[in-house]
Amino acid sequence: MTTAASEHKNINLDNPDYFINRELSLLEFNRRVLAQATDKNTPLLERLFFLCIASSNMDEFFEIRVAGLKQQVAYGSTQRGPDNLSASEQLDRIAEVAHELQSSQYKILNDDLLPALASEDIHFLHHTRWNQTQATWIKGYFNRELMPVLSPVGLDPAHPFPTVLNKSLNFIISLEGKDAFGRNSGIAVVQAPRALPRLVRLPASCASHEYDFVFLSSIIHKHAGDLFPGMTVTGCYEFRVTRNSDLFVSEEEAEDLMRALEGELPSRRFAEAVRLEVTNRCSQEMVDFLMHKFNLRPSDIYPVDGPVNLYRMMAIPSMVNRPELQFPPFTPALQNRLLRSDNIFETIKKGDILLHHPFQSFTPVVDFVRQAASDPDVLAIKQTLYRTGDDSSLVEALIAAAQAGKEVTVVIELRARFDEEENIELATELQNAGVHVSYGVVGHKTHAKMILVIRREGRQLKRYVHLGTGNYHTKTARLYTDMGLLSSDTAITDDVQKVFQQLTALGKAGKLKKVLQAPFTLHKTMLELIQIETDFASKGEQARIIAKMNSLVEPEIIKALYRASQAGVKIDLIVRGVCCLRPGIKGVSDNINVRSIIGRFLEHSRVFYFHNGGDYQLYCSSADWMDRNFFRRIETCFPIEEKRLKKKVYKECLQNYLSDNKQAWLLQSDGSYKKATKGNAKARSAQQYLLKAYTD
């Protein structure tokens, strides 16, 4: 054994210093999203969009991640992750970073975006800037549209502090004087119904610019006195509370999972508070009052310098007809093979079809199910659904197939976070149409993306499949990067049928020929493939791993990558979001580089490459390298075997992204990210390259 090898063997890879905390890594991802709002190369309304997405991401972070940590503290949990941070230690570090990020959000809004929007004749008028004509129109709007639906609550023994909905807009108001009944508690709360628009555009008759907007909060603030006749408003402060939104349903104890979830959903709106956002103008007395009411700590209070919910500004692009301030529209490409044929099954039989969304159209996937629904030779259709969106054409096709007498089976994952209600409605709609609906396997989310079509061709039954890395959601198929495979390969179609049998029936998992599956073979095989590269490198032979995913968390995979790096394997990781692996540690991860791409489209595809002595193996997967994906979900990972398709995936999804020097961020060993620099090289955006390649 060489000296270097001996030194590596003595390094303890369980050292907490070698792991980045998951929650802090997630906050760093949001920092990268927020940075897009300051990028002058991005169209102005798209920069506003990124600001809104960063705000929404922070909401979910508190609703799920922070809420979970607070529960651990409340229950006295001593659980620690690979980084060895306790729940309370994580909360302290999160509070520090989250306050900084929130402050940055509003600084970007006030110092950068609002002035830039104003220069484009898009204005947001504070109530102190209304002229008389505008004030008169807004007064009328308040009396006509707002006053009838607002229900101010003056706090006294008969009117306790109201239950505040999760993430709703509210106002706490200080008062002087007595009402008609002689009451004077000094404090009232006004809740703004969610049905009310948060932004009101002034009509041309009173607008000073092409686009003049007024926030609902400004209107209520200005006219709060009208809600309390005979009394004097001495302070009006907007606030918003974020609550624990994770659902707890014991699948083992529930007799009917859908009914159990239906019963749990309402509690999401009124669960424990985890964060309080309040205008920075609010008096300390009122802040303390709210903090006490919501049972929060000072570190849970987030003062804001602007509207308490920036996500509501997401409506602006649709209210402003300024296409030059947005990304130019594009039409996803359609392969010539598909254009030349009106029978998708015959086309698939001639060779696998690989689709790269959103650069290539999602329509072939919809056509696959539509043609199956109307084809008299098709006997059965089976599909998994995780997120579908409203008015799904795929769902319509499945219903049509069932009504046409075909055997249609759909495995719906009810517990798709924040889509539970929509999925319950979807399950009911499908069942009413005669579709066989299953909810998968107790204790495991069904996250695999699969469609199986069984067709009679002569005396044989022929199977066709679609496997994908992303959801069957026609809208996100234009916003997320994903890979999809249409195939009639016998081994793959047999594998997919076996997985469906596992999901809908009872029995042991059959051995699959080509498809890797979580929770059975995926984790084990990934470790084996990493080890093969490690063995090649140990012999002095070329070894290479490239992996693209959304998140890298699972510690055994990380340690395997560390061992591969120590052996000399060259490893490039393209990880959009959370990455707990720490690159650049001497003697541990010297040979590992990690980059994140943040751009117009949300990077969502998972692609894994292993050099394998020159006969490289390449997989696409529905799974990230996370504990939950490996062990608590049903996932599929499928090989790309046709030479032309392997070359296509390698070039477009891996090589292309590794050469990005415009939208790439490089992970540093301290857990921070630095924007990639191009030096003397030509500026290159992976996403722009693909857009140009497919739409020119």
Assess whether the region 21-96 and the region 336-514 belong to the same CATH fold: no
Could you confirm whether domain 518-695 is CATH 3.20.20.70? no
Q: What is the mean pLDDT of the chain?
A: 91
Could you say which of 1.20.58.310, 1.10.3720.10, 1.10.10.10, 3.40.50.970 is the CATH number of the domain covering 21-96? 1.20.58.310
Confidence band, pLDDT 50/70/90 cuts, at residue 5: low
Q: Cα(464)–Cα(493) distance, rounded to whole angstroms?
A: 6
Q: How far are the Cα atoms of 53, 358, 596, 655 from residue 573, in angstroms, in the given order?
A: 24, 22, 9, 11
Sign of the dihedral through C-alpha 445, 487, 347, 470:
positive
Burial of 240 (0-12, 13-18, 19+ CB in 10 A): buried
List active site positions. 447
From the list 45, 48, 43, 18, the residue with the least C-alpha distance to 33 is: 48
Q: Look up residue 150 and give its two tokens.
A: 């607002």
pLDDT, one tens digit per residue, over 450-494 is: 999 999 999 999 999 999 999 898 889 999 999 999 999 999 999
Residue 210 has pLDDT above 50, yes or no: yes
Percent of the chain with pLDDT over 70: 92
Q: Is the pLDDT of residue 168 over 70?
A: yes
Q: What is the pLDDT of residue 428?
A: 80
| β-strand partners of 277 | 240, 302
Q: Tell me which of 1-10, 182-191, 245-254, 372-381 is least confident.
A: 245-254
Low-confidence winner among 279-288, 416-425, 500-509, 539-548 (lowest mean pLDDT): 416-425
- Residues 497-526: what's their mean pLDDT? 90
Q: Which of 156 and 472 is assigned the larger pLDDT?
A: 472
* Domain layout of the chain by residue ranges: 21-96, 336-514, 518-695
Residue 423 pLDDT: 65
Please give the Cα distance from 469 to 475 (Å, whole number). Answer: 15
Assign a CATH topology to domain 336-514. Answer: Endonuclease; Chain A (3.30.870)
Residue 356 pLDDT exceeds 80: yes
510 has pLDDT over 90: no
pLDDT tens, position by position, 636-676: 999 999 999 999 999 999 999 999 999 999 999 999 999 99
Cα gap 429→435, rounded to integer Å: 9
